Amino acid sequence: MTRQPAIARRAEQLLGTAVVSTAPVAGGDVATATKLRLNDGSMALMKTMPRPPEGFFAAEARGLRWLAEPGTALVPEVLAAEQDCLIIRWVEPGRPSTEAAEAFGRALAGLHRAGADGFGAEQDGFIGRLPMPNRSAPTWAEFYAVRRLLPYLKLAHDRGAVEYDEAAAIESLIGRLTALLPEEPPARLHGDLWNGNVLWDREGGAWLIDPAAYGGHREVDLAMMALFGLPHLDRVIGAYQDVNPLAAGWESRVALHQLFPLLVHAAMFGGGYGARAAEAARRYL
């Protein structure tokens, strides 16, 4: 590890301890990540971004702390959060195992059972770099329609990532959500639970990182894990079911709850995500 002076100085200002060395960390799609070796021998991860949206890192820190509150899931400790950066405790990466997957399934079930005050959150957040509206709604069907599907459908369509007929198919589904989505108490969601946001460590743990946390339907987290191929997903789901059994027919709703991340990806990356979202919607028409 070398030492990037500007990064090290900023971290020292916030942490009140010397930074011995720094090293870039690969894999960040949104922010630049840097590993910090501190004077006491501990490690931290610092995330920075040129001109981040107002409140971007504060929202991530708020989500991490909220997910850590119940003490059921592994969540890195937030060391500092400012407009220009976020510093969290370092987790040494390892490899996923079946045992770790089962432990993660139980932990995620406990996290979801910890619940939320309602559908949504007290403050809006972000998913990727996109703003994420969190104003509450009385039912999950309404929240999913007006806070998750319609905003990103409009954005993706405006950016040319969703064709007119594809948008029409998704809009046609909106009126059916009340009948299709079972009501449950709001769960405490990670909110952006693709495989890249589950960090497997060397001791058999699975840590939740980069959340877009809010109160919602727990099937959203599970659907996103399936969409992007979480390792040992069958073991995760099996252990989850032992602790917090899913409502009947949950498998048939996986694609329904994948509409949200597909539309987000269409808005951010274009490609074939808009077509995939429309294909998913048509299954329920």
List 29, 40, 192, 242, catalytic entry: 192
Closest CA to 44 of 22, 27, 65: 22
d(CA 265, CA 260) in angstroms, rounded, equals 9
Which one-letter DSSP state was computed for residue 119?
A: B
Instruction: Please give the helix or strand (H or E) that residue 38 lies within, else none.
Output: strand 32-38
The b/e string for 5-37 (b: 16+ C-beta within 10 A; e otherwise) is: eebbebbeebbeeebeebeeeeebebbebbebb
Partners of 32 in beta bridges:
48
d(CA 219, CA 258): 9
Measured in whole angstroms, the distance separating CA 67 from the mean position of its chain's CA atoms is 11
The token pair that represents 12 in the structure block: 């020292």
CA distance 139 to 234: 29
- Written as six digits, the tokens of 11 are 């971290």
**Interatomic CA distance for residues 257 and 181, integer angstroms:** 9
Residue 12: HSE in the Cβ half-sphere, 13 Å Cα cutoff? 14
158 is catalytic: no
Question: What angle, rounded to 10 degrees, do the helices at 164-174 and 150-158 form?
Answer: 170
Residues marked as catalytic: 192
